[in-house]
């Protein structure tokens, strides 16, 4: 980003963090970079578990402030960002701010986040997505343990995934198993979505939770036990129907599995980054790396 953009990003991140602190009673601000075929952008997701904003329209009005701040808050943030979304309710408030090039209107919207074990600088979880008009492929991987060794395993898994984008998810996991033998090992899930064929294919090894949501129906997609790079895994693909309303969620064991996105009225129809934010805010285990990828049809 040039100096102007970088300055705007700093303002947005500062403002988002101040809001979380002053109005939300504390929370998290996750800043990440997204590179896509049409350019790149920065993405900020700020979450708190405060009491929520009663009058959103009023809060978005310039000059409005509840806690004696400058009062240029949300309205200015909305104007400054390329994309702005806010979700507020009983569980707290989440704000999504994007700055930079927006990606073209892909049929599958994707968001992912990976956060390190508290106190670690390196993340032992990782994710990657590759998208063409024909199909969207994504990997989520969790290197054994945490810290440097785990991060090396996760990055090796992602690099191997990126070298084998033209083959099926199950076959990719086979290559991952070979490539990870020189690391301490990892678990991983790989998904392929082909909107025109209305098809989702998933394969997972180890403790990766994958769920496909179609309307009121939520279906867990099976991952087989094992650790890539260590024990020859049993690899089996799961096929399911993908529709424009489908939502796919996969995450590592850094998140509890008992979540229910239907408990957040309206959230399933929002940007997938907000779904990631809600899961990380409300279901993150404290003693592990944590990662989540959400893909949505539209
Ligand atoms: Mn883990």
Residue whose entry in the numeric block shows the structure tokens 């989702």: 200
pLDDT of residue 260 exceeding 90, the answer is: yes
Query: Separation of 210 CA from ligand 1 center, angstroms?
Result: 15
What pLDDT shows up at residue 65? 59
Query: Separation of 167 CA from ligand 1 center, angstroms?
Result: 26
Give the single-character DSSP code of 214: E
Is residue 95 within 8 Å of 81, Cβ to Cβ?
no
What is the Cα–Cα distance from 11 to 15, expressed in whole angstroms?
6
pLDDT of residue 74 exceeding 90, the answer is: no
At the top level of CATH, the class of 3-100 is alpha beta
pLDDT of residue 271 exceeding 50, the answer is: yes
What is the Cα–Cα distance from 2 to 220, expressed in whole angstroms?
43
Query: Separation of 238 CA from ligand 1 center, angstroms?
Result: 23
What is the Cα–Cα distance from 281 to 95, expressed in whole angstroms?
12
Q: What is the mean pLDDT of residues 170-192?
A: 98
**How does residue 71 score in pLDDT terms, banded at 50, 70 and 90?**
very low
Q: Which residues of the chain does CATH 3.30.565.10 include?
A: 3-100
pLDDT of residue 66 exceeding 70, the answer is: no
Query: Separation of 49 CA from ligand 1 center, angstroms?
Result: 24
What pLDDT shows up at residue 16? 93
Query: Separation of 251 CA from ligand 1 center, angstroms?
Result: 10
Angle at which helices 3-22 and 73-80 pack, to 10 degrees? 150
Query: Separation of 197 CA from ligand 1 center, angstroms?
Result: 33
Query: Separation of 177 CA from ligand 1 center, angstroms?
Result: 18
pLDDT of residue 39 exceeding 50, the answer is: yes
Cα–Cα separations (whole angstroms), residue 248 to 240, 243, 245, 260, 287: 11, 11, 10, 13, 25
Q: Does domain 108-297 have CATH number 3.30.750.210?
A: no
Q: Which residues share a beta bridge with 220? A: 211
Average pLDDT of the chain to the nearest whole number: 92
Least confident span in 16-20, 53-57, 188-192: 53-57
Query: Separation of 88 CA from ligand 1 center, angstroms?
Result: 29
Query: Separation of 227 CA from ligand 1 center, angstroms?
Result: 12
* Residues flanking ion ligand 1, Cβ below 5 Å: 142, 252-253, 288
pLDDT of residue 233 exceeding 70, the answer is: yes
Residue whose entry in the numeric block shows the structure tokens 């990719």: 172
Q: Which residues of the chain does CATH 3.60.40.10 include?
A: 108-297
Query: Separation of 222 CA from ligand 1 center, angstroms?
Result: 17
Query: Separation of 259 CA from ligand 1 center, angstroms?
Result: 17
**Coil, strand or helix: which one is 281?**
helix
80 torsion bin: left (phi>0), alpha (psi -120 to 50), beta (else): alpha
Query: Separation of 207 CA from ligand 1 center, angstroms?
Result: 8
Higher pLDDT, 86 or 75: 86
Is residue 259 within 8 Å of 204, Cβ to Cβ?
no
- pTM (two decimals): 0.93
Q: What is the mean pLDDT of residues 226-246?
A: 94
What pLDDT shows up at residue 55? 80
Query: Separation of 115 CA from ligand 1 center, angstroms?
Result: 11
Higher pLDDT, 45 or 70: 45
pLDDT of residue 89 exceeding 90, the answer is: no
Least confident span in 18-32, 50-64, 173-187, 227-241: 50-64
What pLDDT shows up at residue 95? 95
């Amino acid at each position: 980003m040039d100096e102007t953009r970088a300055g705007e990003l700093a303002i947005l991140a500062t403002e988002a963090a101040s809001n979380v602190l002053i109005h939300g009673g504390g929370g998290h601000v996750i800043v990440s970079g997204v590179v896509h075929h049409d350019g790149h952008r920065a993405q900020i997701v700020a979450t708190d578990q405060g009491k929520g904003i009663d009058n959103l329209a009023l809060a978005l009005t310039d000059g409005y402030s509840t806690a004696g701040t400058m009062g240029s808050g949300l309205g200015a943030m909305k104007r400054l960002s390329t994309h702005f979304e806010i979700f507020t309710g009983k569980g707290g408030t989440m704000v999504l701010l994007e700055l930079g090039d927006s990606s073209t209107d892909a049929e599958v919207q994707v968001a992912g986040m990976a956060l390190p074990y508290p106190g670690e600088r390196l993340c032992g979880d990782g994710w990657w997505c590759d998208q063409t008009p024909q199909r969207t492929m994504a990997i989520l991987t969790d290197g054994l343990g945490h810290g440097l060794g785990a991060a090396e395993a996760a990055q090796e898994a992602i690099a191997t995934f990126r070298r084998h984008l033209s083959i099926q998810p199950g076959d990719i996991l086979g290559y991952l198993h070979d490539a990870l033998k020189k690391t301490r090992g990892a678990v991983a899930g790989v998904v392929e979505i082909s909107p025109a064929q209305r098809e989702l294919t998933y394969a997972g090894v180890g403790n990766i939770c994958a769920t496909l949501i179609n309307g009121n129906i939520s279906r867990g997609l099976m991952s087989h036990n094992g650790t890539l790079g260590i024990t020859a895994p049993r690899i089996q693909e799961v096929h399911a129907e993908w529709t424009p309303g489908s939502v796919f969620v996969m995450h590592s064991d850094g998140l509890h599995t008992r979540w229910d996105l239907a408990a957040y009225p309206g959230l399933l129809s929002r940007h997938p980054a907000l779904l990631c934010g809600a899961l990380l805010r409300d279901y993150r285990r404290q003693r592990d790396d944590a990662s989540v990828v959400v893909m949505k049809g539209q």
